[in-house]
Amino acid sequence: MDKRIIADFLKRIELFQDLSDTDRDLLTEYIETHRFEPGELLFEENSPRKNLWVIFDGQIELFKRNPIGGEKRLSLFSSYDFLGEGALMDDYPHSASARALEQSTMFAISRDHFLGFLEQRPDLAAVLLSRVARVISRRMRQASTMVVDAAAQYISGRTRTEHDLLGERAVPYEYFYGIQTLRATENFPITGISLAHYPRFIDALAMVKMAAARANHELGLLTDDVTVAIEQACQELLDGRWHTHFVVDMIQGGAGTSTNMNANEVIANRALEVLGKERGEYEFCHPNNHVNLSQSTNDAYPTALNIALINSNRELVAVLSELIEAFQTKAKEFSHIIKMGRTQLQDAVPMTLGQNFEAWAATLTEEIERLNDNARLFLEVNMGGTAIGTGINADPDYSDKVIEHLREITELDVRLAPNLVEATQDTGALVMYSSAVKRLAVKLSKICNDLRLLSSGPRAGINEINLPKMQPGSSIMPGKVNPVIPEVVNQIAFKVIGNDLTVTLAAEAGQLELNVMEPVIAQSIFESITMLMNGMATLRHRCVLGITANEDRCREMVENSIGLVTALNPVLGYEASTLVAKEALETNRGVYELVLEKGLLSKEELDTLLDPKNMLTPRKQKGSHNHGGK
C-alpha cells in the first residue's frame, strides 16, 4: 500500500496523534501491510506478542476460550482501532485470541521493527511508548470489576464539565458516560457487579434505544443525521464495543433510572463522535432529549430487561441441553448394569444404572419446556407507556411504531401489552420465570445429591459409580478425594433458591403505579442464570462425562439384597414373602436359599422370578398363589 495513504491514516489513530507529519512518514518505513480472510487468526491466546495491529478496514473479533472449549466475545474492532499494543513493550503472551470476521486489511509494527525504530529515533519511540502505557493503563482500569469511587475512573487529567439538576461535575473525558452515571457510581457502590457483567442486558438496552430512534425518526421527531448516529452507536454496543463504559452497579435505587441514563449517556456521547462533535456537546445529541425521546425509564428499562432475559434463557437452555445429552450418553453406556434401586435410602427393587441416568435426563428435559413457556411471557412489553403507562410525552402513534421496529431488530414476536398502566407496575412474568429457574436448580441439586450418594465410599459407602477425581480432598487425610463438582452445583442451587425469594419479596414490594425494586429482581435473575450456566457446563465437563461404573459392586449388592423378595409377592403373597425377608435378615442368609429350603418354589420357578433382568420392567401377572408348605 502507498506510504502516503498509510501516513494519512495514522493521523486518526490515537497512538500516533502526537507525531508530526515527518515523524509519521518515517514510521511508515517500519509498517507492514497484511490481509486476513474471514476466520483467520491474527494471534492466539498464550502465544507471544509480536505485533501492534492497526485496522485499516474490516472487522476483528477479540475472544477468549474457556477451559471447556466455549468461546466468549470480548470486543469487536473495526477501522481506526488498534490492538496488541503491548507488543511494543514486551513479548508477554496474549491473554485472548483475535480473528478476522470479514476480509480485513491490517497495518503491523512488529516488536523487532520497533526495536530498530527505537535505536534510530529514541525520542519518537519514547512518545509512542508513553501513549502505549496510557492505553494499557486505561484498558486495565476498564477491565476492573469493582468501581470503588469516581476517582478510580480518571485515566488522565483531562475532564469535561457536565451539569444536571444538582449542579456541575467534572467527568473523565475518556468515558462515554456522563454526569448522571458518575453520580450513580458514587451513590451505589453496592455489589461491585456492574452492568458490564451482563452483556445481554446492554445489548437489549441498545435494541430498545435503536427502535425508539427509528420510531421517533418516522414521526419526524429526530433528524436524519442524529438518527443515523444513534443507530451506529447502538449497533456498536450490539457488536460488543463500549461495554466497559456501563459502570453502574446492578443494584441501585431509582427503579433503574441510573441504568437507563448510563445507556443514554454512552449512546449520546458515542453518537456525538459519529457526528464529528466532542463528547458532552449535548446541544447536538442529548441523552434525554434525543436518545431517551418518547421514553421513560419505566418502559425502556423493563422492556430491555424482558428482551435480555429471553436471549439469556436461550443460552441457559442450550447449556441445559448439552447436560441432558451427557446424561443420555451415560444412560446408554450403563444400560446393561444391574443395580439396586432405593427408596428412603433403603433397598427397594433392582433397576439398571442406565435407568438412573435416563431418569435424570428426563427430569431435566421437562425444564426446557418450563423455561421456554415462562420466557415467552417476556414478549409482552410496555413501550410507549412512559412514566406510569398513560403515554405522557409520547406521540399517539409511537407505541405501534416502536414495537414494529423492536420486532425487526430483536427478531422476536414482541407485542404491546393491552393495558400499559397494568404492565408498567406488574412484575408477574419475572416472578414466574424466576420460579422456573429455581425449579431447575432444585432438580439439579437433587441429582447432585444422588451422584454424591452413589459415589460415596470408596470402601465404606455405596460406591456404585466413580466420579472423576478433580483435586485432593483434605489437608489432613491423605488419599481422600471429594465430590467437589456436585457440591458446588448444590451451592449454586442454594443461591438460586435465595435469589428467587429475593425476586418474590421485591415483586411484592411494588407500590401503586410502579415497582421500584426491579434492579434487584434483574440482578437476582441474571445472577441465577449465569451461575446455573457455569454450574451445568462444569457438571457436564468435569463430572458427568467422566463417570465410570463399578459393575461388580452393583451386581453384588443386588444379589445380597433382601429387596429381591419383592418379586415373590405375586406368587407367595405378601405374608409369606415378609416371613422370608425377616428370616433372611435375622440369619444373614439369602432369599434364594431360604425359598428352596422351605420348598416354596422350584428352582426353575425361583430362577425366573429372581432374575434381576425380569424385574426391570412391568410383566404380566398370573395371580396370587398360596403354596403353603409345598
- Catalytic annotation, residues: 474
User: 104 pairs with which residues across the strands?
Assistant: 36
What is the C-alpha radius of gyration for the chain, rounded to an integer number of angstroms? Answer: 32
Element (H, E) at 364: helix 353-375
Beta strands in 119-260 (DSSP E): 159-164, 167-172
Q: What contacts 469, CB < 8 A, 6 or more positions away? A: 481
- Would you say 392 and 386 are in contact if contact means Cβ atoms under 8 Å apart? yes
- DSSP state letter for 94: P
- Would you say 399 and 368 are in contact if contact means Cβ atoms under 8 Å apart? no
Distances (CA, A) of 254 to 123, 187, 429: 52, 11, 21
Of 87, 189, 102, 174, nearest to 139 by C-alpha is 174
User: 388 pairs with which residues across the strands?
Assistant: none
Q: Is 569 exposed, middle or buried (0-12, 13-18, 19+ CB in 10 A)?
A: middle
Can you list the alpha helix ranges (DSSP code H) found in 44-121?
A: 111-120
- DSSP state letter for 78: -
The amino acid at 579: L
Q: DSSP letter string over 538-563?
A: HHHHHTGGG-EE-HHHHHHHHHT-GG
Quick one: CA dihedral 438, 439, 442, 443, positive or negative? negative
Measure CA of the first residue to CA of the last residue in the chain; give whole Å.
Answer: 102
Tally of CA atoms within 13 A in the half-sphere of 608 that contains its CB: 6
Instruction: Give per-residue burial for 325-342: e unless 16+ CB within 10 Å, then b.
Output: ebbbebbeebeebbbbbb
CA distance 222 to 582: 86
Q: Is 287 exposed, middle or buried (0-12, 13-18, 19+ CB in 10 A)?
A: buried
Helical axes 297-333 vs 518-542, angle rounded to 10°: 20
